[in-house]
Chain A
Amino acid sequence: MTLRLDERDEARLAGDEGPAVRTAIRVVTRLATVMGADRLLDVTGAHIDSCLYHGQAVLDFADHLADAGARVAVPTTLNVSSLDLLHPELDRGDPVESRQSRRLMERFEEMGCRPTWTCAPYQLETRPSFGEQVAWAESNAIVFANSVLGARTHRYGDFADICCAIIGRAPAAGLHLDENRRATVVVRLQGVSSELIGRDVLYPVLGGLIGRLVGRGVPVVDGLPPGVSEDRLKALGAASAATGTVGMFHMVGSTPEASTLVDALHGREPDEEVAVTAADLRAARDRLSTTTDDRLRTVSLGTPHYSITEIGRLVELLGDGRVADGVAFYVSTGRDIYHEVELRGWADRLADAGVTVVTDTCTYFTPIIEDLGGTAMTDSAKWAYYAPGNLGVEVVFGSVEDCVASAMTGRVVRDESIWADA
């Protein structure tokens, strides 16, 4: 497939709109060729992951663009960074690296991006509509935009995100196009108890399993009651994008392009059908833990950033209780959600219970956690998947109910009964 550019694309490539635009369109057109696109298309928004500091290279690239006067052409939100600007006292990192991180964040603000600092931009007040073409980075946000909102983004990564935002264009390929949104793999739940289906904890575990099963395919989940909540779809998508390369999934009766199984399959036969049993789910759950040591030191919730509903559930589970001495308990969320937490009077309640709220960043790559010895517990498959490698911490995965119960006793406790066969 040959890439055909329009007149304005060509002019930008020739440098008519300055060096920043030229760099941006060079990167996007090279990417378009890699993706096999025959043209670029307009996007109406972008979400940027390049603001997370991974070393000098990302700052060099941001400097390269910002020094040349780059500005985003479409409304653009920013992903988590490496710093919690609202709670700087939590940072235990190297001060030089913290300054570099801060500098990187400033460069993106200079380019006109909104300082939202969240990995869950779909929890902000405005979000893309059904069918809207956008350029989003951050794997969990991508899968949510495509699957739950029915917006259209390919799996953009660092660099591509800001370059698309600067030119307001993206390669017409991948998940931007109808034909690539067709479900290819049917994932059918068999013999899974209605008890487990009714629990939040099923969804990240199922997502982690699906990521491994389908790799880069587009899965459609069949066999769940309709109307699965956004928070559960979020957890499923985030997990599948961490363990696999899922950019979009369908769930019959719950996601907008899957009113029926036939709709999700675009009326065609699937490439593959896979049955998932309670035993498969138990095995998938067990893969998310690295230790059986029950001495709990850390609990981390909120990966992706907790919604207001999820924080409400945490407040409810904590009741009048308090986290045991020697256990550090973190919950990560976006600053917009945190503002609402404050308005609802939950911030004090969380503090009184011994819970530390982290905003703008996340605990699985930022040096915030006090004690990496002992066991860390999480309700996030994504956190469980990445934290051992990033932080060197041992992890036990459990439901949010397990996490709160464990935090209060200082020992890992999990409700095994819900995982039984139907």
Chain B
Amino acid sequence: MPDQPRVLVAGTAAGEVLHLDEPLSFWGGLDATDGRIIDRRHPQVDRVVAGRVLAMPHGRGSSSASSVLCEAVRAGTAPVAILMAEPDELVALGAIVAEEIYGVVVPVVVVGHEAYQGLVDGERVTVGPDGTVGRA
């Protein structure tokens, strides 16, 4: 039985998956001006998260992660949705505040390890308000 998705921030989205093989700290790891991954130790360094459905294990590191995500939403460089193997409230919080002050919803869903592993880089998926991930 696959894990039931747990919705941290509810919304709908569609886009191509960017699959991160390791946790990413948005702060120090993501450039909000262009959405590029700048953590040189990260396997997906130089990939761009903007407009993608970001699949990641969870966040990492500094407590400024929420600000960077919120700034990326404001700047239009954020992922359209974030699917994680494990819950991460710093990631959720960045999306919550972006919704509160800009009214832009970036759904954040904990899909579990199995579903995270099953997401293929480059495939097109949809995210439903109940957290279901569909293959487009």
Contact = CB atoms under 8 A, between A and B. Distances in A.
A144 to B, nearest CB: 13
B93 A157 contact: yes
Interface residues of A, number: 44
B96 A155 contact: no
A58 B67 contact: yes
Contact of B61 (A34, A54, A56, A243): A243
Contact of B63 (A56, A155, A290, A388): A155
Contact of B96 (A31, A142, A388): A31
A204 to B, nearest CB: 15
A49 B68 CA distance: 12
B96 A54 contact: no
Interface in B57-109: 58-68, 70-71, 73-75, 86-87, 89-90, 92-94, 96-98, 100-102
A34 B38 CA distance: 28
Interface string A240-256: 01111100000000000
A34 B67 contact: no
A60 interface: yes
Contacts of B67: 50, 52, 54-55, 57-58, 157-159
A172 to B, nearest CB: 14
Interface in A381-404: 385-386, 388-390
B40 A389 contact: yes
B29 interface: yes
A360 B85 CA distance: 37
A55 B32 contact: yes
A139 B25 CA distance: 12
B70 A34 contact: no
B39 interface: yes
Given A49-B64, A61-B101, A245 B40 contact: no
Interface stretch (A22-30, A120-128, A319-327, A340-348): A22-30
B63 A138 contact: yes
B8 interface: yes
B75 to A, nearest CB: 7
B28 interface: yes
Given A159-B70, A290-B40, A389-B39, A27 B100 contact: yes
Interface in A43-75: 49-50, 52, 54-58, 60-61, 64
B23 A157 contact: no
Given A245-B23, A290-B40, A57 B60 contact: no
B95 to A, nearest CB: 10
Contact of B92 (A34, A155, A244): A34
Nearest to A58: B67
A369 B86 CA distance: 38
A23 B100 contact: yes
B64 A157 contact: yes
A377 to B, nearest CB: 18
B63 A57 contact: no
For A30, A55, A156, A158, the residue with the greatest tally of chain B CB atoms inside 10 Å of its CB is A158
A49 B27 CA distance: 12
A244 B88 CA distance: 13
A160 interface: yes
Nearest to A365: B28
A215 B22 CA distance: 11
A414 interface: no
Given A54-B68, A57-B73, A30 B96 contact: yes
B111 to A, nearest CB: 15
A311 interface: no
A61 B97 contact: yes
A386 B61 CA distance: 10
A137 interface: yes
Contact of A54 (B41, B64, B73, B100): B64
Given A27-B100, A31-B89, A57-B74, A389 B64 contact: no
B62 A242 contact: yes
A216 interface: yes
Nearest to A243: B61
Interface in B12-63: 23, 27-29, 32-33, 38-41, 58-63
A35 interface: yes
Contact of A34 (B40, B86, B89, B100): B89
Interface string A8-49: 000000000000000100110011001100000000000001
Nearest 8 A/B pairs, CB to CB: A55-B71, A157-B63, A57-B71, A158-B67, A54-B67, A57-B70, A157-B66, A386-B28
9 contacts: A30-B96, A34-B92, A34-B93, A54-B64, A57-B71, A57-B73, A58-B70, A157-B89, A244-B61
